[in-house]
Amino acid sequence: MDPKRAPDRPLLDVSGVSVRFGGILALDHVSFHADAGSVCGLIGPNGAGKTTLFNCLSGLYRPYQGAIQFAGTPVLELPVHRMARLGIGRTFQNLALFGSMSVERNVMVGGYVAHSGGYLASMFGLPTARAQERALQAECRELLELLDLTSVANVPVKNLPFGTQKRVELGRALASRPKLLLLDEPAASLTHEEIGGLRHLILALREKLNLTILLVEHNMNLVMDVSDQIVVLSFGRKIADGSAEHVRSHPEVIRAYLGASA
């Protein structure tokens, strides 16, 4: 990571987080931190706890033990919408887009989180809401240009290829003006060419929007290429944390994920 980016304290600090579902320990005292402006990869097989951790970071799950601080603020007791307004945005593996709505309107839905008027005020046509709606629309059109979606802005999402729909999902998350963006398997089901474009897009978003990115992904080449730091989970435990070079050479990671010949 570029030392010019290093802050006095990490933007995200996860300390001793544990989550249990009945008798299953999904996360077992997981600790790590991510510095502002970094890309942090989170890898591990299915069932390792990656999505559970994402759900804790976005307020969907409450750990029974541990702490999470975002920009110095404890967030575990905050409702989901407060965490979003603090600056935590997220995409999902299963796209939850509105198929009959246009690309632009889908992206704008994410922007209502960042605008104080909110979606209901917009529906009722309040004067302040109309002004905010125009500002939001302008912001979203800039995002559409950044994501190469301008040409399909008025197309219903259901009529678009899956790879394009994933960029719409990303745009919706970005419209909430996050400081920390949680990307949940963004390369899943993409073509080789689309994954190459995603690699460039992740780094461009980090630079242009001053984002910190936490990336859950099974495509090891993508994770190794874009990440400043990689955290490895296995059965709910952290087994490695460091640079791509460190993770590549870590004995437990080689045995568990990369194969003996990696």
CA distance 76 to 144: 32
149 burial type by CB count under 10 A (0-12 exposed, 13-18 middle, 19+ buried):
buried
Q: What is the mean pLDDT of residues 233-239?
A: 94
Q: Does residue 244 register a pLDDT over 70?
A: yes
pLDDT at 240: 95
**Residue pair 79/59 in contact by the 8 Å Cβ criterion:** yes
DSSP calls for 171-197: HHHHTT--SEEEEESTTTT--HHHHHH
Q: What is the pLDDT of residue 95?
A: 87
Q: Taking Cα atoms as reference points, which of 24, 27, 21 lies closest to residue 67?
A: 27
Mean pLDDT of the chain: 89
The CATH H-level (homologous superfamily) assignment of domain 1-87+178-262 is P-loop containing nucleotide triphosphate hydrolases (3.40.50.300)
More confident residue, 90 or 122: 90
Around Cβ 80, how many Cβ atoms within 10 Å? 13
Instruction: Look at the block and give the residue holding tokens 């050479």.
Output: 249
Taking 80 as the threshold, does the pLDDT of residue 259 lie above it?
Answer: no
Look at residue 7 and tell me whether its pLDDT is greater than 80. no
pLDDT of residue 132: 79
Tokens of 159: 């009529």
Least confident piece of the model among 121-125, 177-181, 190-194? 121-125
Residues 239-253: b if buried by 16+ CB within 10 A, e if exposed? bbbeebeebbebeeb
- The phi and psi torsions of 14 (rounded to 5 degrees) equal -105, 125
* Residue range 23-55, pLDDT digits in tens: 999 999 999 999 999 999 999 988 899 999 999
CB 160 within 8 A of CB 194: no
pLDDT of 70 above 90? yes
- Any idea where the domains of the chain sit in the sequence? 1-87+178-262, 98-177
Could you give the CA distance from residue 210 to residue 4 in angstroms, rounded to a whole number?
A: 13
Rounded to an integer, the average pLDDT of 182-192 is: 95
Residue 194 confidence (pLDDT)? 95
214: pLDDT strictly greater than 50: yes
Instruction: Take residue 249 and report the two structure tokens written for it.
Output: 């050479």
